[in-house]
Amino acid sequence: MGPDFPMVGLLYGIASQQAPPMLRIRPCISLGDPNWRQQISEVLKNSTRSRKRIARDETHFIWKVHPCFGGDPALTAVEVRSRDESVQYWRFAIPKAAHPVRWGQGASGGREISHIRFAEATGSGRFGNHEITWFGAANIISNTESAYAVFPGPLPSFICFGPAKNPFGPPGRMEIFWTALSGKTIQPSNLRSADVS
């Protein structure tokens, strides 16, 4: 069928985090969810749209900001998921002065963050003139599973996200969300690609 053929994992009685890694690289939908048919339809539609967007050289990730995360007005979550390809090893990078209160992987749409993190990795580095801290894990993200970073108070001035080449290594090329310029609205003009060292 070719590498662009859309595939979906159908789960019954287990969470997506408990599925084998080879299945988690694809979107996983629970048959216990009453809206599973609609979710499959959306995944297939998004898969077609995503391939068209990538062909136009847009961003590789979908970013969302969730104010009042978990019903707490003091918390803001940044959610990042893949447009098309799954990412095994992912990393956030933020200014060193910023400190997330929680981070990890979970279902897309501002849902609960898993307490389980595989191959948790952290480090520090530089982005231009900025000292940064990077962190991430090996819980696969896709177009249905997202990475989350939750912050108390205002968001840091920028947040970077991208893949790493191995489970404990630093990030490679990352997308940067300039929150200070955006007023918490994520548009392609707020996103850039850069290397973090």
Residue type at position 26: R
Evaluate whether residue 4 is within a structural domain: no
169 and 114, same structural domain? yes
What domain range includes position 108? 61-195
Q: What is the distance between the alpha carbons of residues 78 and 64, in angstroms, rounded to a whole number? A: 6
Tell me: do 22 and 40 sit in the same domain.
yes
Residue 1 lies in a domain: no
72 and 45 housed in the same domain = no
Task: Report the C-alpha gap between 128 and 175 in whole angstroms.
Answer: 14
Q: What are the tens digits of pLDDT across the range 31-41?
A: 888 888 888 88
Q: What is the mean pLDDT of residues 92-118?
A: 92
Residue 51 has pLDDT above 90, yes or no: no
**Within a domain: 85:** yes
- Report the sign of the C-alpha dihedral through residues 13, 16, 18, 19, in that order: positive
Please indicate, yes or no, whether residues 24 and 79 belong to a single structural domain of this protein.
Answer: no
Q: Are residues 104 and 125 in the same domain?
A: yes
Structure confidence at residue 189 as a pLDDT band (50, 70, 90): very low
Instruction: Give the number of domains in the chain.
Output: 2
Same domain, 100 and 150: yes
Q: Are residues 139 and 177 in the same domain?
A: yes
Residue that is last in its domain, among 55, 77, 93: 55
CB 101, CB 155: distance < 8 Å: no
pLDDT tens-digit map of 114-140? 888 999 999 999 888 889 999 999 999
Mean pLDDT of 150-162: 92
Q: What is the pLDDT of residues 11-28, one digit of tens each?
A: 888 876 677 766 666 778
Q: Which range is most confident: 8-12, 83-87, 91-95?
A: 91-95
Q: Residue 28: its pLDDT value, please? A: 80
